[in-house]
Amino acid sequence: VTPNPPGSKLIVFNGSGTSDINVASSALGDGFHGEGTQCMALDCVNADCPAATPTPTFCSVCTPTPTAAPTSSPTPTVTATPTTTPVPCVRPSPGSTLAAEPGRFVVNSTCDGDDASPGDRSCATSSGECTLRAAIEESNFEAAENIIAFNIGAGPQTITPDYRPLPDVSAPVIIDGTTQPGFAGSPIIELSGARTSNNTNGLSIRAGPSTVRGLVINDFESFDQYDSLVGNGILLASDSNTVEGNLLGLDITGQIAKPNTNGVSIVDASHNRIGGLSSAARNIASGNEGMGIKITGASVSNSLLGNYVGTDSSGTTAVRNLYAGIWVEDDASDNQIGGKEAGAGNLISGNYNYGLAVAGQNARRNIVQGNRVGTDASGGNSIKNAIGIEILSASENTVGGPISGQGNLISGNGQGLVIGAPDFSATGNKVQGNLIGTDVTGSARLPNTDSGVSISYTPGNLIGGPNPGEGNVISGNGDFGVAIVYERAVGNIVQGNLIGTDITGTLELGNGASGVEILEAPGNTVGGSIAQSGNVIAGNGSGVSIHGAYATGNSVQGNRIGVDSAGNALPNIAHGVFIYDRASGNSIGGTDGAPNTIAYNNGDGVRVESAIGEYRKRADANSIRANSIHSNSGKGIDNVAGGNNELTPPTVRTTDPASGTACPGCAVDVFSDDADEGRIYHGSTMADATGHWTFPGAVTGPNVTATATSRCGTSEFSAPVPISPASPTPTTTASPTPSAVPGRFAPYQAYPVGSWPESVATGDFTGDGLKDVAMSTSYYASPNDWKVFLFVQQPDGTLDCPIPYSTHHGGGDTMALTAGDLNNDGYTDLALATVNGTEVFYQQSGTLQPGVLVSSDLEGDVDITDVNGDRVNDIVESNPDIRLLLGTGSGFSTPTIISSQGIGEVELGDVTGDRRIDIVGTRGDVLVFQQQPDGNFGAPASYRDANGSRYSTLEVADVTGDHRQDVIATVWGNSPNSKLEVFPQNQLGTLDAPAIYSTLDLPGPVEAADINGDGRQDVVVVHDGYQRAGVYLQNSDGRLSSEEVYQIPYASSYRPNGVAIGDINNDGALDIAISDYNNGLIVLRQNASSPTPTATPTPTATTGATPTPTPTGVHDAAALKISVPNDGGASRPIDVRVQNLGDHSESMGVYADVTPPGGPSNPYGCAPSGRVLATTVTVAPGKKTTVSSASLSFACANAAGARGKAFTIVAVADAHGDDAAACGPGQLQSMPCYNALASDDSNPSNNRMTRSCCKAGQ
C-alpha cells in the first residue's frame, strides 16, 4: 500500500520468479495488502494504483513504475498478496453524468472507490462514479435524512467491498435497493462480504432513524459469533431504524445460503423495526452461521414483524440459521416478536438449534405473538427447529395471549417450547392462547417430536390461565404435552388448557406420553380451585404423571381427565393420574371444592405405585379426595407395590346412614357409583379411635363406596355396597396383606423408602404394646438418604407409612440398628451405628425422639444388652475397635476398648456357660471374647470348621434345645460351598465342632426366633441375590430341619442387608422384616394356615372373635375386647382355638365369658352377657381344633352411651388339673411359652399374660 500505513510490516521473500502465496487473513489481521517489485493479481483500491493503469471494467491491477536497473542482479523480492480473482465492477457509461440532487445519492457503480471530496454533496470518486462507499461517506456529512438510491445498469448487481468495511452510517439515511431498475418485488442489489476480511459488517447503522430496504446482504462473518458488533449483515447500534424487504444470509435468488454470522444484530438500540405488516416489508433472515436476528444489550421496544427466519423466500423450504433464528439476550426487554395484526407474525422455522430464544436474567417483558414456529408459511407442514422457543433464565416474558391473533403456532419442532434456567431464574413467564403440536386450524396433528411445553429447573411460570382465551391447545406432540422437571421447578401452574384434544376439546389429538409430566418437581399446580382453571387432559398416554423423590406437594385439581370438554368419554390410553417412583405428598382433588373428573381411562383412574425392583422407589402420602372417579377400565384408585403404603380401604357396613370401619383417625370420603368406583362425592367424616365411622348425609347409590385417608395417603375404594333400605347387608373389604397360601408365610409385601436400606429392627417404639419396624438407609442421592424410618404398627395390624428421622451420619453405608431399653424407663429405644458414633433415639411420649450421639468415631455394628449384670442395658460397638459403653440409666460411660481390632458384626450372649455376657464376632473365624469375673474380656477364642471356612454373618441363640446359647455362622458363596453352621455350646463352656447344614447360594443376614410357636428357637437366613428367605425349624432332637425357602423380590445387587423378626401384624405369630437394598422394607407375614408346629408338652388355647384371634395358655385367660358396634347388632361367633402341644391326647374344658360395657351390672342394656360357650373337647397330640359359640349379636339398647366402650370376652382352656407349670422329674422350666395380647385392646395391662412350659432335661 502506498504509502505504508502506520504499523504495517514488510514481508520480504528471497527467490526468483513469480509465486502466488496464500495467507490466511486471521494471521495477518484485517485489510492485508501486498506490495513490492511485483504486484500479482492484486485488486487494489483505486487510489493505491498509478493513474496510468486504470482499465475500463476492472478495479486497477497495480503495475509498478519501472526503475533503473541495479548495478548488480539481486534476488527479486516478492511480497505476499491475495490470490482472489479480480471481480469486475460495473461503471456508468463513458461520458455520462449524474444530475446533482440535494439529499439523494444514486449509486451507479459496483466499484468500491471512496468519495473524492466527502462533504461536497456530490457522490463521485476520483473516476467520477458514485459507489456505495462514496454515497455513505457523502451522506454522513448531511444532518438531514438522505436517500441512497441505485441505478447500476439493469437487473441484479453485486457490490463487493475490497478488503475493508464500508463506512459506518453516522447520519440518518434511507438505503433503498428497491430503486434499482428491474426491481420487481425481490431484492436485486447484493452486498457481498466475500472480499472483505472477517470481523466486518455489511452495513453498520449508528445513526437513526435510518432505513435499509431491498438489499441482499451476505458473506459477512466474524471469528467470534458471540461478538455482536461484527459479522452482521446489518448492525443496528442506534435507535428508531427500519430494516425491511431484505435477504440476509441468502443469495440473490433467496434459495441458497451465503451466510453472515448474524443476519441483523440490534445492540444497545431501541425502537427499531425489523420487517413490517406487508409482504414487501418482509425480511428473509436465513442461512446465517449464528442468528438470523439478534437483539442484545440494553435494547428495548424493538419490533420484529412479518419476517421469514430460517426458510427460503417462499417459506416452504428450510435454509437454516445454524444457532438460532431469533436470539434475544442480556438486558433486552419489552421487545415485540410478532403481533396480533394481520401480517405481523414471523415465520421462524428450519433453524438448526433454536427458533426463538430469550436468554438472560434481565431479558424481561418481551412479547412473542402471532408467529408460526416450526411450520411452513401455510401452517400445515413441518419445517423443524430443534427447539421452537426457549426462554432461558429470562423472566416475565409472554408467549401468546388471550386475544385473537396473539397466539403462536408452535408445531413441527423437536421440542415445542422450553422454559429453563441453570440458575433457576426463569420465572413469571406466561404461555397463553397458543397451538402447540397441531396445525394452524387446531384440528390435525403437526407434532413437536419431543414435548409440547417443557419447564425445567425454574419456578413460577404460567401455562394457560382461567380466563377466556388464555388456555393453550397442547396436543399431538410426540412425547409429553407439558413437562415440569427437576427440583427447582416449583410453583408452576398449568391451567385452562386442552391437552390431548383438538381446538374444540372434543376430538382426540393425544400426546405420545403423558398429558402433563411432573418429574422431580415440587409444589406445582395442574388446574386449580378457581372457576375455569381446570384442564381437559384426554387422549394421551397417561393424563397426569408425577414421579421422582422431589415430586412432592403438587396439586391436581378441577381437571377433566379422560373426558372431553363436554364430559363425554375421551380416554387416556393408560391411567388418568399415575404417581410413582418416590413421589410423595401430592394432592389429587380435595375437599375444598376443586375435585377432578377422572373417568373412562383405559388403565386405572389414579394409580399410585412404588416401583418394586427398581431401586427403592417409594410413593406414599398422596391424597386422592373428593374427585368424581368412575368408568375406568382398571380400578378407580389402585395402590400398587406399596403405593400409599397400601393403606387398608374402609368397609361400608350400612347405607342408611352410611357407616362402616376404617383405619382409626382416618378421614373417610363417601361416594355413590353404579359400579365400584366413586362417581358422586357426597362428603367426608372421620373414623373414631376404634375405627368406626358414620356419615350423616344422604347417599344416592345405586352403590355406596368409600375411601380412607391418613398421612400415609388415600386408600383404594372400598367394596361397593348397594343401597337396600329394607335390610342393609354388612360387607367387608380385603386387607392389603397378601392372602394365605400353602406354606408358612404369605407372599411378601414391600415398602420402598426411596433410598438404600441398610439395617432393620423390630420393637415397640411407641409404647402401645404393638411391634413396630425401624429401618435405616444410606446413600442414594435422595432426600431419604441417611435416615431412620419408623413404620408404626396400627391397631388393625397394618404398618403406617414411615416416619423419617434425620441422623448424624455423614457417609459410608453402616447404619446398623438395634433395639433395647437404653435409659431404664421400660420403653424400647433404638441405637444406630453411624460414621460419627452411636446415635440413640430415645422413646418418649409414644414416639422416638431425635437422635443424640453417645460416642464418636466410625461404627460398623452395635448391639444392646445388660453386659455387666447391673440390670441396665449397655452398648457394644465394633469397627474399628470393639468398645463397651456401660449404661447408667441416664447416659453412658466413656467407652472401654475391648480389642483394638474390629470384628464387623457384633453379637452378644452367654456362649461360655458362666452366666456372663460374652462378645462374639468374626474376622473370618468365629471369635469369642469371654467376659471375666472382673468384667474385663479375655483374648478371643477362635473357631472354624474342619474345612477352614470363613464366616460372614453370625447369630447367638439356643438352637440345639439344651438351654445353652450357641453360635450360628454363615459361609458365603454358591452352593455347595455355601453353608449354615451351628457351633453348639457344650457343658464345659466352649463351642463344639459345628453341625453343618446345606443352604442356598449366598447366605446373608441371619436371626433366630421361635417362628412356629413351639418354644424352640429357629433360624432365619436371607440369601443375597437369590431372592429367597430361608427358615430352619428346630426339631425336638435339637437339630435343624431342612431349609424352607420363601420368595422375596429380585435384587439386582446381592444386598438384602438386614433381617429382624417380630409380630408386626398383631396376630400372635412372628413375621420376618428384611431391609432390602433394592426394594425397601420387605415383610413376610405368617399365614393363618401355617403347618402345625412340632409338639411340646403344654397344650394351649387361643380366643378369637372378629378381629383376629389371640393365643392364651392353659389355666390362664386373656381378654379380647370388642368395641360397641355402630350398626347396633353385628352378628358373629366367638371362636376358641385349642392346641395340644403335648405328647398324648388331652381332654380340655373350653369356656368363654362376655362382660358387657360398664361391667356385670350392664348399665347400657347390652347383650350378650355372661357365659356364651361351655364345652369339652379332646385334642390329639400336636393337633389343634376350633370351638365356636353360637352366632352372637353384640348390641346395646343405649348405644350412644356405650359408644367408645367395649365388650370383654375371656376364654379359658382347662386341661383338668394337668398343670404343666409344675415341671416333673427330669424336666426343666423354660422361658415363657406365650406372650399374649388381645388385639382390640391397646392397654397391655388388660390382657397380657405369660405362661411357663416344661421341656425334657438332660
Q: What is the pLDDT of residue 799?
A: 84
Torsions phi, psi for 653 (to 5 deg)? -100, -35
Tell me if the bond preceding 1107 is cis, omega within 30° of 0: yes
Residue in this structure with the C-alpha cell 433394592, named with its chain if needed: 1078
Q: What is the 3-state secondary structure (H, E, C) of 640-709?
A: ECCHHHHCCCCEEEEECCEEEECCCCCEEEEEEECCCCECEEEEEEECCCCCEEEECCCCCCCEEEEEEE
Cross-strand bridge partners of residue 822: none
Architecture label for domain 649-722? Sandwich (2.60)
C-alpha distances out from residue 1157 to 1162, 1187, 1209, Å: 7, 25, 11
Question: Looking at residues 50-70, what average pLDDT do you find?
Answer: 37
Q: Which fold has domain 1117-1253?
A: Immunoglobulin-like (2.60.40)
Cross-strand bridge partners of residue 162: none
Give the helix, strand, coil percentages of the chain, each rounded to 5. 5, 35, 60
What is the four-CA torsion angle of 585, 591, 597, 598, rounded to 10 degrees?
A: 30
**pLDDT, tens only, 98-153:** 444 678 999 999 999 999 999 998 999 999 999 999 999 999 998 888 999 999 98
First to last CA, the chain: 120
Give the span between the Cα atoms of 355 and 383, in whole angstroms.
Answer: 10
**pLDDT, tens only, 809-830:** 666 555 788 999 999 998 999 9
**pLDDT, tens only, 261-293:** 999 999 999 999 999 999 999 999 999 999 999
Give the span between the Cα atoms of 577 and 560, in whole angstroms.
Answer: 11
**pLDDT exceeding 70 applies to what percent of the chain?**
78
Q: What is residue 26's three-state secondary structure?
A: helix
**Is residue 71 predicted with pLDDT exceeding 60?**
no
Of 238-247, 773-782, 1211-1220, which range is least confident? Answer: 1211-1220
Cell numbers placing 894: 466413656
Q: What is residue 512's three-state secondary structure?
A: coil
How far, in whole angstroms, is CA 217 from its chain's centroid? 49
Cell numbers placing 105: 445519492
Q: Residues 1075, 1057: contact at Cβ < 8 Å?
A: yes
Give the span between the Cα atoms of 350 and 310, in whole angstroms.
Answer: 5
How confident is residue 20, by pLDDT bands cut at 50, 70 and 90?
very low
Residue in this structure with the C-alpha cell 450421639, named with its chain if needed: 853
Give the span between the Cα atoms of 337 and 406, in whole angstroms.
Answer: 11
**pLDDT, tens only, 554-588:** 999 999 999 999 999 999 999 999 999 889 999 99
Residue in this structure with the C-alpha cell 440369601, named with its chain if needed: 1023
**pLDDT, tens only, 680-693:** 999 999 999 778 99
**Is residue 1191 predicted with pLDDT exceeding 80?**
no
What is 293-304 written as a DSSP string?
A: EEEESS-BS-EE
Q: How many CA atoms lie less than 13 Å away from 959 in the CB half-sphere?
A: 32
Give the CA radius of gyration of the chain. Answer: 44
Give the span between the Cα atoms of 1007 and 254, in whole angstroms.
Answer: 81
Give the span between the Cα atoms of 713 and 646, in whole angstroms.
Answer: 9
* Residue type (1 letter), 941: A
